[in-house]
Amino acid sequence: MTSLMLRVTAAESLTPLVKRFRFEHPRGATLPLFSGGAHVVVEMPDGDMLRRNAYSLISDPQDGSGYEIAVRREDGGRGGSRFMHGGVRPGDQLRVSLPLNLFALDLRARKHVLIAGGIGITPFIAQVRQLLRMQLPFELHYAARSRTEAAGLHLLPDVPHVHAHISDEGNRMDLGAILSGQPLGTQVYTCGPEGLITAVAQSGARLGWPKSALHSEVFQAPPPGRPFEVMLARSGRTIAVGAHQSLLEALEAAEVEIDWSCRGGACGRCETRVVSCHGRIEHHDHWLSEDEQSAQTRIMPCVSRFRGESLIIDR
């Protein structure tokens, strides 16, 4: 994974829970441009542990002077966002991967409808800039509980295409209204809580939308869970995976060579063959098909966990 050591040049609270970070090249070099919806993986040396979390880029895709991300503090998470909120200050240097896009705009679309819930607004911030620049028709619907929690309001341009739906102001998002009456050839993109993605899929199905016109951002942070052990077939070693650690992180800590890219169960790079499994793999990825998941012969170590007697993987 190609990465760059970048300097933090800004860390600003947008809301009580969301902070914006800006990274620039330490010698002022231009960073590679990207497409709206792309993410980077930030490396966080947290004690004796190296965490890597993926964050959507929120800066202008055509602006190579820096990369910006918005991080929501997840107190129940594995610790990456707490590290960013607590420990990272301007002047610090962090290793950041080059951008990768698993949630790109379909540029064939006659119109783009973007639907965001909460922190799910982040990939759309760069997409809105791209759409404005390319002068493509779009509308953005952004649902948040309250104005104080709506970090995206600080980051979005003041244009009529942007609609905020603030529930405690009695202005809840009406998916049926958004999805009905859109012109043929419209593509819909949803990012936010699982419930929102499901609701859009259901509304879309009811209104006769083709599935291929409904996109959602599928990668996610690895969920914490119970600790478990995994045996490595190639070396015969057994490694322990902590409650707040992913299997991928445990493999890296054990210096097992493994390819990765999105670290969110979407890109397929870290797919690993299961040699034997006595128990249940908790598949959290969006990569393996349902059949592949239920066969328990493959696992995505970046997000998936295990519960049971013993798991041996081909690493």
Min. distance of Cβ 122 from other proteins in angstroms? 17
Element (H, E) at 22: strand 18-24
38 binds other proteins (CB under 8 A): yes
**Alpha-carbon span 123 to 54, nearest angstrom:** 12
Which residues make beta-bridge pairs with 5?
95
One character per residue 120-139, x = contact with other proteins (rule: CB under 8 A): --------------x-----
Tell me if 64 sits within 8 A of 33, measured CB to CB.
yes
Applying CB under 8 A, which part among 30-38, 66-74, 79-87, 114-122 lies near other proteins?
30-38
Q: Does 61 help bind other proteins (rule: CB under 8 A)?
A: yes
Contact between 104 and other proteins by CB under 8 A: the answer reads yes
Task: Locate the DSSP E strands across 25-149.
Answer: 39-46, 49-56, 67-72, 93-97, 111-117, 138-144
Q: Is 35 an interacting residue with respect to other proteins (CB under 8 A)?
A: yes
CB-CB contact of 215 with 48 (8 Å):
no
Instruction: Give ∠ CA 123-138-175 in degrees, rounded to 5.
Output: 80
Q: 43, 231, 269, 282: which one contacts other proteins (CB under 8 A)? A: 269
Q: What dihedral angle (degrees, nearest 10) is formed by the CA atoms of 47, 49, 50, 56?
A: -80
User: At closest approach, how far in Å is the CB of 149 from other proteins?
Assistant: 31
Least CB distance from residue 57 to other proteins, whole Å? 12
Paired sense of beta strands 162-166 and 138-144, if any: parallel
> Which of 5, 10, 106, 176: binder of other proteins (CB under 8 A)?
106
Query: Rule CB under 8 A: which residues touch other proteins?
Result: 1-2, 32-35, 37-38, 61-62, 97-101, 104, 106-108, 134, 212, 261-262, 267-269, 271
